[in-house]
Amino acid sequence: MNRRTVTPAQFVNRELGILAFNRRVLAQAADDAVPLLERLRFITIVSSNLDEFFEIRVAGLKESIRLGLHDAGPDARSAAEVFDAVSREAHALVAEQYKLLNEVVLPSLAREGIVFPRREEWTAAQRQWIRDYFFRELLPVLTPIGLDPAHPFPRVLNKSLNFAVELQGKDAFGRSSRAAIVQAPRALPRLIRLPQAQAGAEYGFVFLSSILHAHVGELFTGMNVIGCYQFRVTRNSDLFVDEEEIQNLHTALQGELLHRHFGDAVRLEVADNCSQAMVEFLLQQFGLRDADLYRVEGPVNLYRLREVHDQVERPALKYPPFTPGLPAALNSPDLFEVLKKQDVLLHHPFQSFLPVIDFIRTTADDPNVIAIKQTVYRTGTDSELMEILIDAARKGKEVTVVVELMARFDEEANLNWAARLEEVGAHVVYGVVGHKTHAKMSLIVRREDKTLKRYAHLSTGNYHPATARQYTDFGLFSAHEELCADVAEVFQQLTGLGRAVRLKHVWQSPFTLHRRIVAAIRNEAKLAAEGKPARIIAKMNALLEPQIIEELYAASAAGVKIELIVRGVCALRPGIEGLSENIRVRSVVGRFLEHSRVFYFENGGAEDVYLASADWMARNFFRRIELCFPVLDPGLKRRVIREGLHPYLEDNSQAWVMHAEGNYERLRARRGTKGRSAQEELLAMLPTGSGETRPVTPPVLVKPAQPA
């Protein structure tokens, strides 16, 4: 089989791909068909996503430029070239975000009785209430810092709300500082609800920044306030731990977390009314350039608006709640007896996450359970699952928990859980230095009839009840002896020492997953070259690994039909004649964050189906411990294809199709044809119970998704 040479032009840049995904998220906020409060929520999601993008990706670009590194990515662009392109696109995206908020969403909310009165619009009653609030709640905790030789520019926390104040006059000591900084304490709410009597509407909200701006003169008695401008700085938040030098990862990470809030500045956001002199002063203080400056018309942190969704009780303006279902197999009260006969598949959030919690809870109370083994990547600060594991350890179970301390932005929570587990005698290990433990797995060892029986739960998503209500994921319960033996072997690798052994069914990073995926793609290419049917369908969050992309290009050239459902960044360009004309790429963005990884290989009619914790990225293949596991039960395999793949390939409402140039076009149902949404169809199919599922009692109300 002749392979066409792949050039850098045939790879999409990763950073620009991330921004393109956020444009698709922002499009949800512009969609009239999306409930109004959800549109506001999508605007806040973009802000949250951009924060992390600057903290990690842009910070990395700036660091590469500073150090003069010349390692270009597969698209052959230098860090400086990528930064310039990212800056242009990010500025355009932020401008579009604020325009949509100010010109469309806020006016629409006002028509629904949800108002955000500006300072110049405050009534006399509102001014009085706000003034009282300022003196009662704000003034006692504010600490203005005048800038003079005795008071240098203060340390500004990452993403904190601050105010730069321009002044005239002299203070009580005769000082004539022309500027001061006021930092808003993190304990203060950024959005304050007005009493309905003062609001003039059913719901009225005022920003902390507006309240402080209106009364900033109270902080500088006798001086003239020329201007007061909110600003926010975003810092490099990628933790650096030299894994070759450290003696104790736990201790090293604790020390590094203290510095996260004060990393190098990478972005400055200011109010659009900020004077040029103050802008230049702030840029100088943070060592930033004009390209790093973002002037915004409104709050410098739109993510704070997420609180509105929860505070406003207007069901008609939100996605309707639903009751997740359960597979009919779980009608039995004894999951262990069920698993002796068959595997059980859960499709979240359409089906409940409660059985996963109950699975662990039951083992904690079961006298026949000897051991519980669990990986922890993200569980959150308030986790019922972790509390159950702590309780199980207290009751004398052999509890082993592999805690990934380097799970980005969850490091502190995981450190705290690790400490609590160790206090009650659980075995806590931190995986393998240099490789994040990203695999999602749980293993139960139970004594039955004088023998030990193993039960496993494997998943594409984290053991996090909140995200299980927001992200689409698959979870598999199994007592399959060989599959459970594979899981036990992976736990053995993580907690002990020894060489990796051959696993029967599971493909594992960093040892076999990449090689197995490459082999599966090549097998489809071989079948196509022989004139046999060949097809690949793969659903994931990101596709970036260069060799995998090259293998997909080669398979396409051989005639393999390839369907890629990639939520976020896809570096592959589809539809290029002679290279990728047999590849289609689509992204689905909707109510829930698409998170499941599903890989289908036709394999001569065998239809191999795998679920995985890993995307097709270099980090997942080579720098993480990941699992990719087969769906062995024929009925469950059909379910994964029917629920996890086909609806997404047929979606013509929330799907975006990628063109060869790397841009995306949203699909719309043609006139006279039915609009189809994968998520809406699954909501109609799974929670209602039609034969396969039954409703959960009490109902679990699903909160909309928030990408991370």
Element holding 698 (H helix, E strand): none
Q: Which of 15, 11, 14 is nearest to 547 (CA)?
A: 11
Matching residue, tokens 């942190």 = 301
Q: Alpha-carbon Rg of the chain, whole angstroms?
A: 27
CB 458 within 8 A of CB 475: yes
**Spatial distance between the Cα atoms of 301 and 207, rounded to a whole number of angstroms:** 11
- Token readout for 343 is 């595997």
- Token readout for 282 is 């702030």
Q: Which of 313, 271, 260 is nearest to 296 (CA)?
A: 271
Q: Kindly list the catalytic residues.
A: 438
Q: With left for phi above 0 and alpha for psi between -120 and 50, is residue 634 left, alpha or beta?
A: alpha
Beta strand segments in 631-692, E: 655-658, 664-666
Residue 372, φ and ψ in degrees, nearest 5 = -130, 130
Across 9-30, b (16+ Cβ under 10 Å) vs e yields ebbbbbbbbbbbbbbbbbbbbe
Beta strand segments in 567-630, E: 583-588, 593-594, 597-601, 608-612, 624-630
Asked whether the bond before 35 is cis by omega within 30 degrees of 0, the reply is no
**Spatial distance between the Cα atoms of 661 and 3, rounded to a whole number of angstroms:** 21
CB 567 within 8 A of CB 656: no
**Spatial distance between the Cα atoms of 582 and 603, rounded to a whole number of angstroms:** 17
Helices then strands, each counted (H, E), the chain: 23, 29
- For the four alpha carbons of 103, 108, 111 and 117, in that order, the dihedral sign comes to negative
Q: Is 345 helix (H, G, I), strand (E, B) or coil?
A: strand
**Spatial distance between the Cα atoms of 360 and 457, rounded to a whole number of angstroms:** 10
- Tally Cβ neighbours within 10 Å of residue 219: 20
